[in-house]
């Protein structure tokens, strides 16, 4: 069984049009989706001490994730304000990850020893873990990093040499710019690059060949977590097959992309990132 960990952000997404909040955040989403896909998954992040944090923690406990190394700081948990327009999630604002941004991860030697036991680390631009990447890389554990959509070229130049798998949201970019970004990331040391393209699907580049994955279109209830679920499903399937020695390189990539597309489509039928909605004021 693959053993993976999401390091960084957790939030509550507050849906203002329904006054309902859902747990989420890139690193936490990764861990939850990996758990649902059969991996042994953990989350290491920072929780606040407010009602929002308690809701996220109770949801995680019910799911069964290991969060034993996570921090708790006095203050606000990460929180984002959201609405839906024809099923597409639209962000209205946030507290920029709350206590995680304010206090950081502050990883200890015990934390690094713990991280060393995993097969894969996942973090991202909102995980505030960039300063930890060099140390994590020395542990010999592969690292996947989600740059989201609002990355800068400076961040790509700084982070890509420290990671193994780069993920970008590129529906806002021209195709040539997307392809150049993928080539650049490989040139900086990444082994695989995935660019999600919204309703156009996804592109993958392994340094030798580009792979296109068409989306499995559904009438979306909520697109929150669609990209996170695609990336998680792909990398879990890809690494699991490689660990077991199943199939050749191209076959593994193509089959993993197909499975990821199906999982991501199913995610679009779920409220929030992974459910667990709660009306404001009742917690």
Q: How far apart are CA 151 and CA 190, in angstroms?
A: 16
Confidence (pLDDT) at 280: 84
User: What's the token pair of residue 221?
Assistant: 């209830």
Residue 5 in this model has a pLDDT that exceeds 60:
yes
Average confidence (pLDDT) over 205-211 = 99
Confidence (pLDDT) at 264: 97
* Domains observed in the chain: 3-279 (3.40.1190.20)
Query: What pLDDT, in 10s, does the model give residues 223-239?
Result: 999 999 999 999 999 99
Confidence (pLDDT) at 85: 87
CA-CA distances (angstroms) from residue 20 to 42, 99, 134, 179?
Answer: 26, 22, 39, 39
Q: Which residues pair with 165 in a beta bridge?
A: 144, 192
Confidence (pLDDT) at 282: 52
Average confidence (pLDDT) over 136-152 = 98
Average confidence (pLDDT) over 56-65 = 98
Residue 256 in this model has a pLDDT that exceeds 90:
yes
Average confidence (pLDDT) over 149-160 = 98
pLDDT, mean over the chain: 96
Q: How many CA atoms lie within 13 A of 279 on its CB side?
A: 3
Between 169 and 199, the more confident residue is 169
Residue 242 in this model has a pLDDT that exceeds 50:
yes
Residue 283 in this model has a pLDDT that exceeds 50:
no
Q: Count Cβ atoms below 10 Å from residue 157 Cβ, excluding itself.
A: 12
pTM: 0.97
Query: What pLDDT, in 10s, does the model give residues 73-130?
Result: 999 999 999 998 887 888 899 999 999 999 999 999 999 999 999 999 999 999 999 9
Inter-residue contact 234 to 194 (CB < 8 Å): yes
Residue-wise burial string across 170-191, b where 16 or more C-beta atoms lie within 10 A, e elsewhere: beebeeeebbebbebbbebebe
């Amino acid at each position: 069984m693959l053993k993976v960990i999401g390091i960084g952000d957790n939030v509550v997404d507050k849906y203002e049009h329904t006054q309902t909040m859902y747990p989420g955040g890139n690193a936490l989403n990764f861990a939850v989706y990996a758990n649902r896909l059969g991996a042994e998954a953990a989350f290491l992040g920072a929780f606040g001490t407010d009602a929002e944090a308690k809701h996220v923690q109770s949801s995680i406990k019910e799911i069964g994730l290991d969060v034993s190394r996570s921090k708790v700081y006095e203050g606000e948990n990460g929180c984002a304000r959201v609405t839906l327009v024809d099923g597409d999630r639209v962000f209205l604002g946030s507290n920029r990850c709350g206590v995680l941004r304010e206090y950081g991860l502050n990883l200890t030697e015990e934390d690094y020893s713990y991280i060393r036991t995993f097969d894969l680390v996942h973090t991202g631009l909102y995980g505030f873990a960039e300063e930890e990447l060099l140390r994590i890389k020395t542990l010999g554990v592969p690292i996947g990093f989600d740059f989201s959509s609002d990355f800068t070229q400076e961040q790509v130049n700084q982070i890509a040499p420290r990671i193994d798998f780069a993920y970008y949201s590129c529906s806002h970019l021209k195709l040539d710019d997307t392809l150049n970004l993928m080539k650049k990331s490989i040139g900086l040391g990444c082994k695989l690059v995935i660019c999600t393209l919204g309703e156009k699907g996804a592109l993958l580049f392994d340094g030798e060949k580009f792979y296109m994955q068409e989306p499995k279109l559904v009438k979306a209830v909520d697109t929150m977590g669609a990209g996170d679920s695609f990336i998680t499903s792909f990398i879990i399937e890809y690494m699991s097959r490689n660990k077991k020695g199943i199939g050749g390189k191209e076959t593994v990539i193509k089959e993993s992309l197909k499975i990821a597309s199906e999982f991501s489509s199913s995610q679009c039928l779920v409220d929030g990132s992974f459910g667990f909605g709660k009306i404001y004021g009742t917690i």
